[in-house]
Structure formats: structure tokens, C-alpha cells
């Protein structure tokens, strides 16, 4: 039971960090789209965004997966509920959005990519928050579980 609780703790803490990171990185993209033409502003935003992606976003994302999969390894019955399958697909979508945001930022930093409008990026910034709400709902209420 202690191992399960450790993985649960790890999972929860890392999800919080991951969400903070992905929202931060997308926000840096929004600011770059709006104000990135000013060289001094661009440099600070790119550097902050890349640091945020490499330190605050990706490692917690990986450790969130470790924690979640660790819980399943300790209590395999978790993966049998219908809620879990939906949650896992949504988590993969959140990971994909994280990767897309990081790739956009890296390509922009190298001058290989122009960013979409700030408005489009603001909409993109809402997607992780909405996914998080649905994912947490599924984890807490566990719908689609056989009686």
C-alpha cells in the first residue's frame, strides 16, 4: 500500500508541475506572437520559454507517467475501468499538445517557424486546462466503471 501511495503522490505532484509548465510555455508563445518582433523582448521570452519547457514541463510530464503507470503496476485493477481508458487517451492528447508547444517554441527560436496569431495561441492555451478538468473528473468520479 505504501508503494501505491508513493506513486499516487508522485503522480499528483508531477501533474501539477506539468500543467504549470505547459500553460507557461503556451503563454510564452502567445507573448511571442504578440510582442516577439521586438528583439530584446523576443530573446527573453524565447529563453524563458525554452527553460520552462526543458525544466518545468518535460521532466514532470515523464514523472507523471511514471507515477501513473506505477499505480497501475501496483494495483492493476485501476486499468480495468472504462474511465481509465478515456483518461489515458486524454493524457496522451495532453502530452501531444505539450510536444507541439515545445516544437513550435524550438522552431521559432531557431527562426524556422512563424507563430500563429496570438488569438489562435490563446485558444490553444485553453485546451490543456479543459483536458485537465475532464481528466481529473474521470479520476475522481470514475464513471463507466462496471458495478
Is position 64 within any domain?
A: yes
Tell me how crowded residue 135 is: count the other CB atoms within 10 A of its CB.
22
Tell me the mean pLDDT in the region 85-93. 97
Question: What is the pLDDT confidence band of residue 114, given thresholds at 50, 70 and 90?
Answer: confident
Prediction pTM value: 0.92
Domains contained in the chain, number: 1
Q: Read off the pLDDT of residues 15-70 as tens digits, 9 standing for 90 and up.
A: 999 999 999 999 999 999 998 788 888 999 999 999 999 999 999 999 999 999 99
Residue 94: pLDDT above 80?
Answer: yes
- Rounded to the nearest 10°, the torsion over CA 9, 10, 12, 13 is 110
Residue 75: pLDDT above 80?
Answer: yes
DSSP string, 20-59: HHHHHHHHHHHHHHHHTTSHHHHHHHHHHHHHIIIIIIHH
Q: Read off the pLDDT of residues 131-145 as tens digits, 9 standing for 90 and up.
A: 999 999 999 999 987
Q: What is the pLDDT of residue 35?
A: 84
Average pLDDT, the chain: 95
Q: Which three cell numbers stand for residue 37?
A: 518582433
Tell me how crowded residue 86 is: count the other CB atoms within 10 A of its CB.
15
**Residues of 30-65 as b/e, b for ≥16 C-beta within 10 angstroms?**
bbbbbebeeeeebeebbeebbebbeebbbebbebbb
Is position 85 within any domain?
A: yes
Is position 146 within any domain?
A: no
Is position 84 within any domain?
A: yes
Structural domain containing residue 16: 2-141
Amino acid at each position: 500500500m505504501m508503494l501505491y501511495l508513493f506513486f499516487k503522490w508522485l503522480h499528483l505532484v508531477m501533474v501539477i508541475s506539468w500543467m504549470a509548465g505547459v500553460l507557461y510555455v503556451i503563454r510564452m508563445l502567445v507573448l511571442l506572437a504578440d510582442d516577439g518582433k521586438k528583439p530584446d523582448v523576443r530573446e527573453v521570452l524565447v529563453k524563458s520559454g525554452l527553460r520552462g519547457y526543458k525544466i518545468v514541463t518535460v521532466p514532470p510530464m515523464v514523472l507523471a507517467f511514471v507515477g501513473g503507470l506505477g499505480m497501475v503496476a501496483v494495483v492493476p485493477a485501476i486499468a480495468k475501468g472504462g474511465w481509465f481508458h478515456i483518461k489515458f487517451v486524454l493524457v496522451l492528447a495532453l502530452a501531444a499538445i505539450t510536444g507541439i508547444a515545445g516544437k513550435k517554441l524550438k522552431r521559432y527560436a531557431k527562426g524556422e517557424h512563424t507563430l500563429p496569431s496570438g488569438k489562435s495561441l490563446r485558444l490553444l492555451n485553453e485546451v490543456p486546462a479543459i483536458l485537465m478538468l475532464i481528466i481529473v473528473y474521470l479520476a475522481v468520479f470514475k464513471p463507466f466503471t462496471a458495478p
